[in-house]
């Protein structure tokens, strides 16, 4: 049991995979936030364009 704990404490593969998982989750959150911001602006732009064609104005 102690030998297993020593071997795991020297193994850096687990720490590296956790770091990659954290980086991936932070990147995913950033992408989702950017998509949300861009989609709101795109919807507003399309609504303004549709209103201009309909003659109702923004």
The answer to whether residues 18 and 28 touch, using CB atoms and an 8 Å cutoff, is: no
Q: What is the pLDDT of residue 58?
A: 56
The pLDDT value recorded for residue 56 is 66
17 and 23 Cβ atoms separated by less than 8 Å? no
- Residue 7, pLDDT score: 73
**What integer pLDDT is reported at residue 57 of this predicted model?**
56
> Which pLDDT tens digit goes with each residue over 3-57?
876 776 676 777 788 888 899 999 999 999 999 889 888 889 999 898 888 886 5
- In order of 16, 18, 19, 37, the CA distances from 12 in angstroms are 6, 10, 11, 38
Q: How many other CB atoms are there within 10 angstroms of residue 27's CB atom?
A: 10
**The whole model's pTM is what?**
0.55
């Amino acid at each position: 049991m102690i030998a297993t704990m020593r071997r795991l404490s020297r193994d850096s593969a687990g720490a590296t995979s956790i770091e990659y998982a954290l980086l991936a989750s932070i990147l995913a959150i950033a992408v989702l936030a950017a998509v949300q911001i861009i989609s709101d602006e795109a919807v507003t732009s399309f609504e303004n364009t549709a209103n201009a064609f309909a003659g109702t104005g923004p």
